Structure 1
């Protein structure tokens, strides 16, 4: 052990540590610092007793004050719901098509629907609702199942091609790769693309037309305009859910597509479903209800 000694210049005992000939003095810590340190220890102990602190297997110690951040959030949510209970009741009872932009209830529905959309729908349709490949753009007026409020609500409520809601909207395109020969695939693709662009190989159009009318027109229509009752897309508007390249269209013909949307009526409250329906309808592509 290094022998400690008293520094001649200061009269303070050294610690015995020396670096480059410089000895470390054993000066005590300032008393104010020590007392501050002791207070923080006491404060920490009291805090862990009073508030949730120590993690256990499935939860943390509750603390004698019974404080809970989750409880505080729950109280705020409950207070918010209580404050809007009247509007929620009106929203659940009103005919959505009767809501006029600018009305208090319409503004509430749009605001609430926007929050629901950002939390639940934006992962697929994007924050701005412009969609991605395989997920429809909700800003335009190209609707597979109809763009009026009633149809939007039905799509959100029941979803599409899911296995959880018996009222889910359902349609299925055959995989023609198991039906057509390769040259027939080429002909059908050429004919379908010719609805919206100049054909690259006009010689394939007669065969493509024959195959299309025999196999595809029942859903997409003789003129390729689609059928919303079946969710069959319009092939003439150059709006392609899965891509407009020849390879994309060929893949759709060969393998078919089977997009699935959840039944949000099983996950959201009625008010949330109705609110997000109003919000989506208000984005710019919403349509008026078809006349009876």
Structure 2
């Protein structure tokens, strides 16, 4: 079919026909060409001015020499310099001095909350109240002490971690290793529960007291009050790491326990570890 002029629009057809329908030879609108040219010019300009094309092990740097990595590094450095006015005080001032400084503690609370959420909350919870297998940091006596220095040391070296100075502790598996039989373990469970709960004295509890003195008191103390020098928990309160019901206590005695906390020595800076320790002390002071 030869091109013909459309009687309605007056435009020539392309000469193509599909089932009686002819196609108009309509040119591309000029604005489309305009925007295509503008886009092309923008691309060429961007390729010349900004980093753009890979060249094996490197890339075109661009005439403006823009570098996002250098820009971010510069911003991080500027932020660190801005923080230095108070982080330097955190590093060198005595903990008691910082705790009494309202302005510094406002910084500690704000920054510590973020540091704790990013590094600690996945185990200890956002409110630092712990959970199954993870101790509360706001109530009870922390395994290795509640002072700022003790908390700072724990944060730095970890517990049963790969740090050369890691705090180390482990509860033996009295049942699995055959130190106590099932009947003896049941007696110890009854006695341990009686330390924190009002339970009427029984022969089993009396037997458990004897077994406790012979096997457990060396670490937990004669009264079961624990020992923060070697990371041993207090058994006389109601705050349990692995559960205070009979089944949980029996499980702990039977198979033993060995908690783990990573060292933050190489992950957090000195001032960050001190902020975390101060933040936890402050949480404990204001915990309900």
TM-score interval for Structure 1 and Structure 2 normalised by the shorter chain: 0.7 to 0.9
Q: Does the Cα contact within 8 Å between 1:141 and 1:286 map onto a contact in 2?
A: no
TM-fit CA distance, 1:161: 1.6
Question: Residues 244 and 272 of structure 1: is their aligned pair in 2 closer, same or farther, counting only changes over 3 Å?
Answer: same
C-alpha distance in structure 1 between counterparts of 2:119 and 2:54, whole Å: 31
Counterpart position of 1:138 = 137
Counterpart position of 2:197 = 197
SS class of match (1:77): helix
Alignment partner of 1:74 is 2:52: no
Q: Does the Cα contact within 8 Å between 1:171 and 1:231 map onto a contact in 2?
A: yes
Deviations for 1:167-190, whole angstroms, at most 9, x for unmatched residues? x22221111121221222222222
Counterpart position of 2:169 = 171
Counterpart position of 1:244 = 244
1:1-292 maps to which residues of 2 (within 5 A)?
Answer: 6-14=5-13, 16=16, 18=18, 23-54=22-53, 61-166=60-165, 168-177=166-175, 178=177, 179-197=179-197, 202-285=202-285
TM-fit CA distance, 1:36: 0.7
Deviations for 1:236-278, whole angstroms, at most 9, x for unmatched residues? 2111112233332222111212112122223222111111111
Q: Does the Cα contact within 8 Å between 2:195 and 2:236 map onto a contact in 1?
A: yes
Select between 51-60 and 91-100 the one with higher mean Cα deviation. 51-60
C-alpha distance in structure 1 between counterparts of 2:149 and 2:285, whole Å: 14
C-alpha distance in structure 2 between counterparts of 1:286 and 1:229, whole Å: 25
Select between 44-53 and 77-86 the one with higher mean Cα deviation. 44-53
SS class of match (2:139): coil
C-alpha distance in structure 2 between counterparts of 1:254 and 1:44, whole Å: 70
Gaps of 5+ in 1: 288-292
Q: Does the Cα contact within 8 Å between 1:157 and 1:263 map onto a contact in 2?
A: yes
Question: Residues 22 and 277 of structure 1: is their aligned pair in 2 closer, same or farther, counting only changes over 3 Å?
Answer: farther
TM-fit CA distance, 1:216: 0.7
C-alpha distance in structure 2 between counterparts of 1:269 and 1:195, whole Å: 41
Q: Does the Cα contact within 8 Å between 1:141 and 1:147 map onto a contact in 2?
A: no
Q: Does the Cα contact within 8 Å between 1:52 and 1:67 map onto a contact in 2?
A: yes
Deviations for 1:195-235, whole angstroms, at most 9, x for unmatched residues? 22355994532332221111011111222211111211111
C-alpha distance in structure 1 between counterparts of 2:92 and 2:75, whole Å: 25
C-alpha distance in structure 1 between counterparts of 2:85 and 2:254, whole Å: 53
C-alpha distance in structure 2 between counterparts of 1:132 and 1:99, whole Å: 30
Number of equivalences: 284
C-alpha distance in structure 2 between counterparts of 1:279 and 1:56, whole Å: 49
